[in-house]
Amino acid sequence: MTTATRYCLFQIPGWVITITLLTGLRQSMDLPIWACVAVMALLVVKDAILYPFLKPGYEMNAKTGIARLVGGRAIVKQTLEPEGFIQVAGELWMARASQGGRSIPVGAPVSIESADGMTLIVSETKTSRRT
């Protein structure tokens, strides 16, 4: 099932409720049919406009939590000997160097390889220095 199909299926209950309310208003208050159609059209257009913003929430294979960090980059904030802290997108995370006994100094860029519980496993990223 595509993401667009999933999104539309979740919108159907709201559309049904709106149609029910508009039908009741049409009968009790003699609401013109064009007004009912206009309200439904606006509701569908609103859902279509919001779809690009809400699409990630309807995707089935979206990574969440710590899985989103794997493959990303970070900066060492406390020397990894072999454990310490790194900064990922403004947050501090416990990390462990994947090179065993080798320490990674403060300020070094690292690449996030995997996670062990809430501890990120990282390796030092080689940067080219210009002189």
What was the pLDDT predicted at 131? Answer: 39
> Can you tell me the distance from the alpha carbon of 29 to that of 31, in angstroms, rounded to the nearest whole number?
5
Nearest 5°: phi and psi at 102?
-75, 130
Count other Cβ atoms within 10 Å, centred on residue 74.
23
C-alpha–C-alpha distance, residues 15 and 28, integer Å: 20
What confidence score (pLDDT) does residue 62 get? 61
Task: Let me know: does 72 contact 120? Beta carbons within 8 Å.
Answer: no
Average pLDDT per consecutive 10 residues, the chain (131 residues; last block may be shorter): 90 95 92 93 95 86 76 90 89 85 85 88 72 39
Contacts of 41 (CB under 8 A, 6+ apart): none
3-state secondary structure of 23: helix
Predicted local distance difference test score (pLDDT) of residue 49: 96
